Structure 1
Amino acid sequence: MKVTVCGAAGGIGQPLSLLLKQSPHITHLSLYDIVNTPGVAADLSHINTRAKVTGHIGAAQMDAALEGSDIVVIPAGVPRKPDMTRDDLFKINAGIIRDLATAAAKNCPKAFMLIISNPVNSTVPIVAEVFKKHGVYDPKRLFGVTTLDIVRASTFVSEIVGGDAATLRVPVIGGHSGVTIIPLLSQVGGTSGLSQERIEKLTNRIQFGGDEVVKAKAGAGSATLSMAYAGARFTFSILDAIASNKPVVECTYVDLNSDAQGGAATKKITGDIQFFSVPVELGPAGVQRILPIGNLSEYEAGLLKTALPELNGNIVKGTSFISQANL
């Protein structure tokens, strides 16, 4: 399969591409960015694994990078700078995602689209609207990669309750920023004895774990390596679901209309919201089934109530960006 990484020369893109180069399911790893991709591709091409690596640079080579791709992973975007407002950051990254989605809609309309670029709550709806405008939207093939929230939750919870973080599964629903991230700690074995204070502190750490990294790096970066790991994990899950024809379950930010029955069940809890991170059964065609969220504790129900208005606002911001664009 051909997998294209858009933003492959960046802080997430390079380690993500290195991890993907190890997959036996990838025959062609296509790297795209506006700078440095030929060098990154040359470096990775010396690794003795199956995937052929090609590097593509600039708008003139975007079509070649994406043409015929089976999976497109997008960590592209710019980090927020000190003099930049959140609206400034949104407009820049939204424009980048819009352009990449437009090229993907033309060159690989059936590809699985894996969106890492922040703000995921808004960038996933942007891709959906672009694909709709081109008449090629399949909600089963569009995913917001929220896997870092799950990875962090497993790590942080295991530090308290013990066990193997690699196998401990902590469902995380909602969105992929701040209070929209809702870890369902009540559904994890070993957490029933935790005090409410401990649960609230643990929840906050999962929601704002990225701040720990930014602080530790003292302004020199953000969570690039852990995000690359999480992005690779989700890509491997998609590849496994396609190759093995056996369902793989991951929490991911999806269009709830991708599974009418499962989506409707989720909307009974969330209201009429279109995009939401839920446990999803992945199959060869993408979203095979949206799984039940399960029972929420009173505290988690409160987190959901707080998250929904912000999440809905994020979604509207993304869809509005495209409705006002001339594609």
Structure 2
Amino acid sequence: MAKVTVLGAAGGIGQPLSLLMKQSHLVSHLALYDIVNVPGVAADLSHIDTPALVTGHLGPDQLGDALKGAQLVIIPAGIPRKPGMSRDELFKVNAGIVRDLATAAATHCPKAFMCIISNPVNSTVPIVAEVFKKHGVYDPKRLFGVTTLDVVRANTFLASVTGTTPSNSTRVPVVGGHAGVTIIPLFSRAPASLRSQLPEQQLKDLTHRVQYGGDEVVKAKDGAGSATLSMAFAGARFANALLRAVVEGASGVVEPSFVPLEADPLNGETVKKDCDNLEFFAVEVELGAEGTRRIHQLGELSPYEKEMVRNATPELHASIKKGIEFVAASKL
């Protein structure tokens, strides 16, 4: 069992995510941190009759205690995207939050596995990498951008147009990044019986819906929030998969994640060649005791998927660079 720390535990994603992690038999201590309301969240969750001890930690003075001894740190902290808000605007707010939380993690639990949910993931994951590098504790195998929601959406939306039931056993791989055109669902890998039901225009419509599913939720909530519940579900799914590999030693655990490709020098280098030498890319990752055990290569892509990779790389280069430059300009 492991100590898991959730940074931003009182927020729209943090609360349902913390509830789901409290249910995990792999968690011995659930440490909840936020700058508001977290004592109440911790008290509420502590009444649930599952083994995990729950502690609440309020404000910067208690951040160190929340992180000490943590084996897994999940960061959903930050503001949600609002109607009409660009991801660049979102970056300006969330980048500083993620930088400061990463600095604390690098100081208090440098060997923890870091799962980054805070958007824009294409920039916040490089921010965490650069912070850990500056502290001399960077291990690319232990850093993950959580992109599981893109797979969850692809599975769900495919099922809705084919009249089937969503199933994780027939999931659609999603590669690239975690924003707009950088999200590349590989519907060519779906079961043949489902692929045959997708004419070209429907495939493009389905792809667009996966890429902009977040906008769909923001619009439906009419300014009252973003994709919090589905993101919490996806975050918990990834975190529990990682814990199964790390704590239980489970083999064959594969999940999508936006990772440093150097985490697997051999396969990562092949992926880099396929995506214009990007340093980070969302791929299927086999998880192990050390974190990233193996990165899955992209393999054979359809012409449409190859075009999407080409279209995604300029934006990914820019987003990654923005995160790296933000830390370079910061005083740590």
For the criterion TM > 0.5, the same-fold answer is yes
Residue 195 of structure 2 aligns to a residue whose secondary structure is coil
Residue from 304, 309, 316 that aligns with 2:314: 309
Residue 194 in 1 paired to residue 195 in 2?
no
Match of 1:135? 136
1:161 and 1:191 in contact (8 A); partners too:
no
CA–CA separation in structure 2 for the residues paired with 1:45 and 1:32: 14
Residue 263 in 1 paired to residue 268 in 2?
yes
Residue 184 in 1 paired to residue 189 in 2?
no
Count of equivalent residues:
327
Residue 250 in 1 paired to residue 255 in 2?
yes
Post-superposition Cα deviations, 1:123-163, rounded to whole Å, max 9, x if no partner, equal 00000000000000000000000000000000001122344
Post-superposition Cα deviations, 1:2-54, rounded to whole Å, max 9, x if no partner, equal 00000000000000000000011100000000001110000000000010000
The 3 A distance-change label for structure 1 pair 243 and 229 is same
Shift of residue 306, structure 1, vs aligned partner? 0.5
Residue 49 of structure 1 aligns to a residue whose secondary structure is coil
Task: State the identity as a percent.
Answer: 62
Shift of residue 323, structure 1, vs aligned partner? 0.7
Post-superposition Cα deviations, 1:238-290, rounded to whole Å, max 9, x if no partner, equal 01111231231011100000001110111121121100000110001100000
2:82 and 2:226 in contact (8 A); partners too:
no
**AA paired with 1:127?**
V
1:238 and 1:286 in contact (8 A); partners too:
yes
Match of 1:204? 208
Structure 1 segments of 4+ aligned residues over 3 angstroms from their partners: 80-88
Residue 234 in 1 paired to residue 235 in 2?
no
CA–CA separation in structure 2 for the residues paired with 1:319 and 1:229: 29
Matches within 5 A, 1:70-149: 70-80=71-81, 86-149=87-150
Post-superposition Cα deviations, 1:218-257, rounded to whole Å, max 9, x if no partner, equal 2211110000000000001001111231231011100000
CA–CA separation in structure 2 for the residues paired with 1:44 and 1:187: 40
Residue 174 in 1 paired to residue 179 in 2?
no
Residue 243 of structure 2 aligns to a residue whose secondary structure is helix
Post-superposition Cα deviations, 1:284-320, rounded to whole Å, max 9, x if no partner, equal 1100000121211111111111100001100000000
TM-score, normalised by the number of residues in structure 1: 0.97
Shift of residue 186, structure 1, vs aligned partner? 0.8
**AA paired with 2:227?**
A
Q: Cα RMSD over matched residues?
A: 1.3
- Which structure 2 residue ranges, 5 or more long, are not aligned? none
**AA paired with 2:8?**
G
CA–CA separation in structure 2 for the residues paired with 1:267 and 1:211: 29
2:83 and 2:219 in contact (8 A); partners too:
no
The 3 A distance-change label for structure 1 pair 220 and 273 is same
Shift of residue 80, structure 1, vs aligned partner? 3.9
Shift of residue 187, structure 1, vs aligned partner? 1.1
Residue from 275, 280, 283 that aligns with 1:278: 283
**AA paired with 1:308?**
T
Which moved further from structure 2: 78-87 or 218-227?
78-87
The 3 A distance-change label for structure 1 pair 82 and 213 is closer
**AA paired with 1:320?**
E
